[in-house]
Amino acid sequence: MINPYPYNYIFLEETDSTNNYLKNMLKHDFVHDFFCIRTAYQSAGRGQIGNIWESENNRNLLFSFVIRPENIAIDKQFIISQMISMAISESILKLIRRNFNPQLLKIKWPNDIYYGDKKLGGILIENSLKGSKIMSSVIGVGINVNQEVFTSDAPNPVSLRNITGNATRIMALMQNVINILKDILEQKTAEEINQYYLRNLYRYNEWHQYRADDKVFTARISDVKTDGALVLEIETGEIRHYYFKEVEFLIYP
């Protein structure tokens, strides 16, 4: 059978984690950039820092791929999150036209995909480092596509089907992500990528509540640094920097 997609691709009916599967492959074989592993079901799908990703069998887009961004310095690796977030957002906007408000599609720091106040997708990036170089990045993407009911205790999931009332072609969405990411890598500067990320950042320049060190406070996002630090300005004018898992967004139903 001829592969209709412009990149190497393997489909698995089930695996524990597409990131794990691809990392194991990389230990034994050379695979080209953008080599993809997609599955219908992950028995141990992971989000950031070990969080579990709920996904109904054959209803959502679950895939991982590899790139080798050796020209990206280790202290600038957050740009990988920005590029993937940009590619996913643009892919959804390219494919979804009806019953969908593009103004509600946002990137929640550091790299979740949100629609309004609900989580539509997430990204897990695992970098392999050698000295001062990033030798490879295994990038896992999960997007809620056609699932209609979520049963886990995740607080705010939503799918494209929930939003639009219509089914979405999973493979078309994956192909869009890869093709748009290739264009970003070839055509966009770091400044253009950062400006896109900030323009589309969830809660950017808006006053909301957050929690850090067991204290709730009101702040606005004023920037995200090149190392991924979230910059919050609190009501007194004080500027605070937080890294992942150091601050919680308080989202009320």
- Domain presence at residue 2: no
Instruction: Clarify whether residues 163 and 214 are in a common domain.
Output: no
Instruction: Clarify whether residues 150 and 242 are in a common domain.
Output: no
Low-confidence ranges of the chain (pLDDT < 50): 1-6, 48-49
- Domain presence at residue 101: yes
Instruction: Clarify whether residues 150 and 244 are in a common domain.
Output: no
Task: Identify the burial level of 28 via C-beta atoms within 10 angstroms of its C-beta, where 0-12 means exposed, 13-18 middle and 19 or more buried.
Answer: exposed
Q: What is the pTM of this model?
A: 0.92
**CATH number, domain with residue 159:** 3.30.930.10
12 φ/ψ angles, rounded to the nearest 5 degrees: -120, 135
173 φ/ψ angles, rounded to the nearest 5 degrees: -65, -45
- Domain presence at residue 193: yes
Instruction: Clarify whether residues 82 and 100 are in a common domain.
Output: yes
Task: Return the pLDDT at 46.
Answer: 54
Instruction: Clarify whether residues 141 and 110 are in a common domain.
Output: yes
Instruction: Clarify whether residues 157 and 242 are in a common domain.
Output: no
Task: Return the pLDDT at 56.
Answer: 85
- Domain presence at residue 44: yes
Instruction: Clarify whether residues 103 and 147 are in a common domain.
Output: yes
Separation between Cα atoms, residue 19 and residue 38, nearest integer Å:
10
Instruction: Clarify whether residues 27 and 139 are in a common domain.
Output: yes
Separation between Cα atoms, residue 99 and residue 173, nearest integer Å:
17
Task: Return the pLDDT at 49.
Answer: 47
**CATH number, domain with residue 211:** 2.30.30.100
Instruction: Clarify whether residues 218 and 113 are in a common domain.
Output: no
Instruction: Clarify whether residues 231 and 177 are in a common domain.
Output: no
- Domain presence at residue 189: yes
Instruction: Clarify whether residues 32 and 98 are in a common domain.
Output: yes
Task: Return the pLDDT at 1.
Answer: 36
- Domain presence at residue 1: no
Instruction: Clarify whether residues 104 and 155 are in a common domain.
Output: yes
- In sequence order, the 6+-apart residues with CB closer than 8 A to the CB of 43 are 14, 15, 16
Task: Return the pLDDT at 8.
Answer: 87
Separation between Cα atoms, residue 246 and residue 124, nearest integer Å:
18
- Domain presence at residue 3: no
**Residue 103: which domain range?**
9-199
Task: Return the pLDDT at 19.
Answer: 96
Q: Please state the domain count of the chain.
A: 2
Task: Return the pLDDT at 155.
Answer: 79
- Domain presence at residue 102: yes
Task: Return the pLDDT at 52.
Answer: 57
Task: Return the pLDDT at 132.
Answer: 84
CB 147 within 8 A of CB 60: yes
